Structure 1
Amino acid sequence: MSNDGCDIQPMERLSLDAAELMRAYPPRIRHRNKLAVFEIALPHGAEPGGRIEYSRWAPVPLPETVPVRRALDITVAKPGFYDYQPHLSPPGMEWHVNFADPDLFVAYGSGLFAQDEMMCAEHPVLGSVREAVLERFASALTEEDGQPTPVLVAGAERRCRIDTSPDLAAGRPEGLYGRRFAAADLETVRRATVPIVPPTITNVLAIAAPSYGHGRYTPEEIQQILLTAFTGFLVARLESERLAGETVPVAVHTGFWGCGAFGGNRLLMTILQILAAAMAGLDALVYFTADAAGGNDFRTAVQLLRERVALEDAVPLAEVMKAVEGLGLRWGTSDGN
């Protein structure tokens, strides 16, 4: 299998009218606060528009060299969290990383509200995607038998925006992120949820990071993270070309993937995503750094890359892996969300 895309095909594919998809596979929302958000996003009688393109992909072997210099050139840091604003001019295509569980969108209807579940709440058709995939393929996975199987969902409407920031006057003194969402009262959730009219369109890349490790990262863990990010970024580029009918610029929006509930190390996950973006041939990696501490972590990761890895256009993969392993980075702890 080559990495130029000529013979890389998805394991699964569905192309569905969004309204028909939601009618046939309505989301199964179990928590009252999620239901309140859904009713604002899709008030009575409303239906999502457009077409959903779902695909699931097998891992693609890593290339033998890494364009380290280009990796740094194409990476752009942005403070805050996903704003869903385009980075490229048309006809460029943009994808947003969903910090997925190995079981695709598994908690969309529950009271959980980390990055994965928040994306599903703002893009309610993603719940229907999960239900359809479960019926058609018997499982909905972003990882299988210990190997990454990234999922792409193109064409999902973002129908509302949920403000999770702390706001005492709005009844959320500690915000709504994570477990605070389920504990909030209905009116607080409704006040925080603003419909987007007309809705915008998001292309979603769902990849699962490793979770709940401890101690120093092993070479195998580092390679698995790089393989997951590389495969996800590569197939996003290939799918962009298929959907556009031509070669187009491609950007992926991401952040501290796997560094919340899963306990990943921010420096390592940043370094590996930056490298994977260039290996996959992306035109831009837009990296959301959350807050001031996140901005510092991002800059530290970039500085480590500059100091420890040759800033060349074709550094042998083995050399890059040895340098990253030599950093001795260790697992963090779960944030409990």
Structure 2
Amino acid sequence: MATRSHTRFTDDIFCTPVPTTSNIQVKTIDILRNEIFFSNLYEEYRQGLFAAEELNSKDLYENYLPNFENQNKLFIFDLLNNKHKYLPSPNKSILITRWKPFIPIIESNSQLSTIIKFQDDIFNYKSDGNIQTIEWYLNFANNDLFAYYGGPLLAQDELQVLECVELASLRQYLIQTINTVGSRTVGSHAHKNKSVPTPILISNTERVIDLDTKDIYGNAFAPANKEQLQHAFKLVDPPQVVNLIAIEAPSNGEGCYTYEQINYILTNCYTGFKAAQILAHKTYEMNRYASNSDHQRPSHNETNNFRTIIHTGWWGCGAYGNNRQIMLITQMLAAHWAQIDEIIFHTQNNEHSKDIAISQTVFEKLKDEQQVKEVINKIIKLNLEWEKSNNT
């Protein structure tokens, strides 16, 4: 890959750790940077890795217990722990990385286009069966990662934490200890008074609960009765391996989208998607090790020719009130520019098929453009306006 004279990253971001020491052993960025960038393939992105820590899942879960405040979430948590005696494998670890925002670059318009699919379903976290495929799922994050997991709401973010319960322990670790990652998916520009996206990626967590949310999603969760919760609960055994991209969408806008807003969304998605691709071999190694009965780590020779799949959906289109077409177009462009093999939009139903069709048409017209600035200016000319929050 040719080198460039310009920087691929914005300026450094500010992150303040909390003043307590960790109770568990932590593998830090000094070691992890070399494990993630073990070849020269993504060397130009090396300094874009802002922070990284790898934690033993069992140690994390036992030392930083989840703190569910809502009684219904406590009921689900008790079903998992008391009835099913859940405990993460002592051989499994999770990796949390935080990234500086990459400046989006259109690498080449001669590359094969990213495969784009729309499915009228929700995340089910099932693998495509190809061990060389690394699959990632968007976490529709708050700027403070998993901050509301213990409360009464059950939106996409809170549902992922409840089903992948060690994420609740990760949240407790992040807010209780001195750590290098921090819990912020948004940082501050070092020289300008503005926010910049700092995506957080989590490799190798596990989904242990499959919760049927048909009648208990969103604000309907808190008033649900115990019979409803028991009926909705299903243990996932063996657990499903899950890799997450936590990015926060912009919110509470009005009128037409500005250049700055569109650029922020593109940068956020591009960084998260490209980071997922960069993490492929390290994540593959962790995923395989967690599922191997002999617990032999794969060698680097096994980690070639990966496919990266991103699973997403109506990111930013619920409580945050973003325009559906904007969010589809920008995610498709970011995946294409980052050379992601496949992106799958899980749309729940066919209610917004018109928005999908229009967005696909716009993407096809824009994907061969050579300059990001020109792409953004053409999106501005669409005069797409912010929508209203649905308060979930």
TM-score w.r.t. length of structure 1:
0.90
Larger Rg computed on CA atoms: 2
Question: Contact 2:332/2:363 (CA < 8 Å) preserved in 1?
Answer: no
Q: Does residue 293 of structure 1 match 2:351?
A: yes
Encode CA deviations 1:84-120: one digit per residue, 9 max, x unaligned.
1224622111100000000001111111111100111
Q: Which secondary structure state, in structure 2, belongs to the residue aligned with residue 26 of structure 1?
A: coil
Q: Is the partner of 2:178 in helix, strand or coil?
A: helix
- Alpha-carbon deviation of 1:186? 2.2
- The answer to whether 1:322 aligns with 2:377 is yes
Aligned to 2:226: 186
Residue 256 and residue 69 in structure 1: after superposition, are their counterparts in 2 closer, same or farther (change >3 A)?
farther
- The match for 2:125 among 77, 81, 84 is 84
Matching residue of 1:159: 208
Checking the alignment, whether the CA contact within 8 Å between 2:48 and 2:101 is kept in structure 1 is no
Counterpart residue number, 2:64: 25
- One-letter amino acid of the structure 2 residue matched with residue 43 of structure 1: N
State the AA in 1 paired with 2:125: Y
Which of residues 36, 39, 42 in structure 2 aligns to 1:5? 42
Q: Is 1:213–2:253 an aligned residue pair?
A: yes
Q: After the TM superposition, which of the residue ranges 295-304 and 139-148 deviates more from structure 2?
A: 295-304
Shift of 1:278: 1.3
1:200 matches 2:249: no
- Distance, in Å, in 1 between the alignment partners of 2:118 and 2:69 is 36
> Which amino acid counterpart does residue 98 of structure 2 have in structure 1?
R
Q: How many residues get paired?
A: 324
Which residue pairs with 1:274 in the alignment? Answer: 332
Q: Report matched runs for 1:1-337 at 5 Å.
A: 1-2=7-8, 5-6=42-43, 7-43=46-82, 45-49=85-89, 50-64=92-106, 67=109, 70-71=112-113, 73-87=114-128, 89-134=130-175, 135-137=177-179, 139-145=182-188, 146-165=195-214, 175-244=215-284, 245=300, 246-247=303-304, 248-306=306-364, 308-309=365-366, 312=368, 315-337=370-392
Fraction of identical pairs, as percent: 30
| CA displacement at 1:10 relative to structure 2 | 2.3
Residue type of the alignment partner of 2:183: A
Q: Secondary structure at the match of 1:225?
A: helix
Q: Is the 8 A contact 1:41 1:124 kept in 2?
A: no
- Deviation of 1:65 (Å): 5.6
Check 1:276–1:88 CA distance in 2 against 1; reply closer, same or farther (3 A cut). farther
CA distance in 2, matches of 1:319, 1:121: 42
Tell me whether 143-152 or 286-295 shows the greater mean CA deviation.
286-295
**3-state DSSP class of the match of 1:250?**
strand
Cα pair distance change 1:91/1:200, threshold 3 Å = same
Judged with a 3 Å threshold, the aligned counterparts in structure 2 of structure 1 residues 321 and 121 are, in CA distance, closer, same or farther, namely same
Cα displacement (A) at 1:273: 0.2
1-structure distance, mates of 2:223, 2:348: 23
Conserved 8 A contact 1:226-1:276: yes
- Structure 1 distance, partners of 2:108, 2:79, is 46
- Name the CA distance, whole Å, in 2 between partners of 1:133 and 1:67: 41
Alignment partners' CA distance in 1, 2:270 and 2:201: 14
Separation (CA, whole Å) in 2 of partners of 1:81 and 1:183: 23
Judge conservation of contact 1:155–1:201 (CA < 8 Å) in 2.
yes
Task: Note if contact 1:40-1:195 (Cα within 8 Å) is conserved in structure 2.
Answer: no
Checking the alignment, whether the CA contact within 8 Å between 1:205 and 1:236 is kept in structure 2 is: yes
When structure 1 is superposed on structure 2, of 190-199 and 85-94 the one drifting more is 85-94
Task: Tell me by how many angstroms 1:46 deviates.
Answer: 2.3
> RMSD in angstroms over aligned alpha carbons?
2.0
SS of the residue aligned with 2:373? Answer: helix
Q: Distance in 2 between matches of 1:275 and 1:31?
A: 39
Alpha-carbon distance, 1:295 to partner? 3.5
Deviation at 1:2, TM superposition (A): 4.4
How many angstroms apart in 1 are the aligned matches of 2:143 and 2:374?
30
Q: Quick check: 1:163–1:192 contact (8 Å CA) kept in 2?
A: yes
2:115, 2:212 → 1: CA distance? 30
Q: Distance in 1 between matches of 2:166 and 2:201?
A: 14
* 8 Å contact kept, 2:314–2:324: yes
The one-letter amino acid of 1:127's match is A
* Per-residue deviation, residues 62-99 of structure 1 (Å, max 9, x unmatched): 1156749855x411111111121224622111100000
